[in-house]
Structures are given as structure tokens and as C-alpha cells.
Amino acid sequence: MRALITGINGFGAGHLAEHLPRQGWQVSGVAYSAELRLASLRGQVQALAADLLDPAATRAALVAAKPEVIFHLAAQAHVPTAHADPVGTISNNLLAQLRLFEAIRALDLDPLIVVACTSDEYGAVRPEDLPVDEDTPLRPNNPYAMSKVAQDMLALQYYLGYGVRTVRLRLFNHIGPRQDDAYAVASFAHQIARIEARLQEPIIRVGNLEGRRDFTDVRDVVRAYELAAVKGEPGEVYNIGTGKPAQIREILDSMVALSRLPIGVETDPARMRPVDVPVIACDARRFSARTGWQPQIPLQQSLEDILADWRTRVRSG
């Protein structure tokens, strides 16, 4: 199968680009630069430089890749950045997908498109909604979430209106090696690694620790992407998560326990979100029933692997 991954330099996309060739896929990747961030991908993925906001560049990438499946992961996904630049986030995320869909129609292609959506779309989840299934009302409470609702509905509209074969995945929090430290779990690991290397005082600076989130290892998530492409029903939407929310404070405590040095914790107001949700838990039974997918990697293994990754990155500079 020939696949095209948009946002190839991203966290989840990088893991997906490693996973698919091992399963026999031929993979191309679209990024703003043809330079792939991960050296391990060289020779496995054809890198195509294309700005998805540019219709001609997008069409050229599609002609070069000839994809049977498109994994559309390209997006501005950092919530604080979205609060700082809501116009840029919403316009970038929506228009990039719109240009992609229009290029597919202009070229008369018929790939299956797996669109990466997010649990943030559910936003202000009420206690009676838990665990969250795909019929839970969407109540986006930040600009990033609003941009993803727009992407989600655009994918549905193009399926219903034009027959573009889309499958939408509402992904709950996913973590793993190589994640950017703009995200909480990776930030904890990065700070611990710096403390162990004597590059930072023995204090971890944190945001809100009271929230409970549904964390899935990215290596389980990329299996879900592939299964969605092979077994997902066009026009359908699926939640992807474990159904086992963990408190951020518990995550931090587990990571500090893995440290080689005593470490303190200090709240940093700059790391607090303007709007937060106390708890969210995923109901992924629809996807599991359709594909047989189940998460396999325990949370503790994810935390150990993330910290090991950051120790290596800090040592290498």
C-alpha cells in the first residue's frame, strides 16, 4: 500500500513513518522542508517539501506520492500557542486540510484519508458524559480545539457532500519517546534528565497537576492509525484511548521516583492553561469492535521509555 503522511516531521507522524514500512507500506511524507528530522527515517520515507496552504505544491506532492491512503496529521497542535495566536492556528489547520481535499478532488484521486482529530474537541466535558464516546457533544474550550472541530466536520462534509473517503480519529492524549517538551510528560522527563546532568537546579517546574488525562503510548496510537486505514469505515469517527485516566500528579510522582537524584517540585504560573478540564476518559469500544485494537504498552513502560529518551537527548546535547 502507498501512504502519504502529512506533517511528517511531527511526533506521531515520525512514529507512524517508522511503523508503516515495517508492515510493508511504501511511505511518502509531506513537510515544509524535505529534511526529515529523524535520521532513522532516511531511506524508508520519500520526503516531499510542500506547504499544504499552497494548492500547486499540494497537487504536486499528491502526483509524486500517488497515495492509496493519506494520513493527515499536519496541524498546529500546541494549546498555549493556539491561545496566543488563535487566528493563525484556526486558519492554518482548517485551510491546510481544505487545500488537501480540494487538490484530491481536482486530480480526481480516491485515497482513503485518515484525519487526526482530538479529544480536545469534547472540551468542557461534564461528569455525566464520562467515559466519553463519539456521541458526546462537542464543547471546544480553546482555539486549538475549535480548529480541530472544524477539521473533523470538514472531513465529514467532504465525505457526505463529495464522496471523499475520510475516517476521523479523535485521539486522546498520547505520549512516548521523542515528544516535544512543550507537553507535560515530556517536560517532566526533560527536566529530570537536565537535573541528573547538573544542567538545572533540582526543581521541576510544573503547571496544573490535579487534572486526570487518558494517556496512550504513541506506539499504540500508530497501530490504531494503520488499523483505521485498513479496517475503518469511511465517514465514521472513532475515539482512540485507554479508558484509564491518570492524574498528572501521579505521573509526575512516578517519573520523580525514576530519577537518580532527589528532586523538588515548584508550580510555574506560566505553565497553567487559561482553561482546563478536570478529568477526561475515553470510550474506544466503537474502534475496538471494528478493528480489534487494544492498547498494549503499560503507562509505566511509557514513562520509563520517555525518560530514557530524554536522558539520551540531553547527553548528546
pLDDT digits over 117-145, tens only? 999 999 999 999 999 999 999 999 999 99
Q: How far apart are CA 189 and CA 258, in angstroms?
A: 10
Q: How do residues 20-68 score in pLDDT, each as one tens digit?
A: 999 999 999 987 654 545 434 555 788 776 789 999 999 999 999 999 9
**The predicted structure's pLDDT at residue 270:** 85
The fold of the 180-213+244-280+296-316 domain, in CATH, is UDP-galactose 4-epimerase; domain 1 (3.90.25)
Cα–Cα nearest to 118, from 80, 148, 85, 88: 148
**The predicted structure's pLDDT at residue 32:** 62
Q: What does residue 239 show for φ and ψ, rounded to 5 degrees?
A: -80, 145
**The predicted structure's pLDDT at residue 33:** 54
**The predicted structure's pLDDT at residue 209:** 94
**The predicted structure's pLDDT at residue 108:** 98
**The predicted structure's pLDDT at residue 265:** 94
**The predicted structure's pLDDT at residue 125:** 95
**2-174+215-240 and 180-213+244-280+296-316 in the same fold:** no
Averaged pLDDT of the chain: 94
Contacts 24+ apart (CB under 8 A), 185-190: 185/215, 185/251, 185/255, 185/303, 185/306, 186/306, 186/310, 187/271, 188/251, 188/252, 188/255, 188/256, 189/255, 189/303, 189/306, 189/307, 189/309, 189/310, 190/310, 190/313, 190/314
**The predicted structure's pLDDT at residue 43:** 56
Low-confidence ranges of the chain (pLDDT < 70): 32-43, 49
Q: Where are the domains of the chain?
A: 2-174+215-240, 180-213+244-280+296-316
Query: Under CATH, which architecture does the 2-174+215-240 domain have?
Result: 3-Layer(aba) Sandwich (3.40)
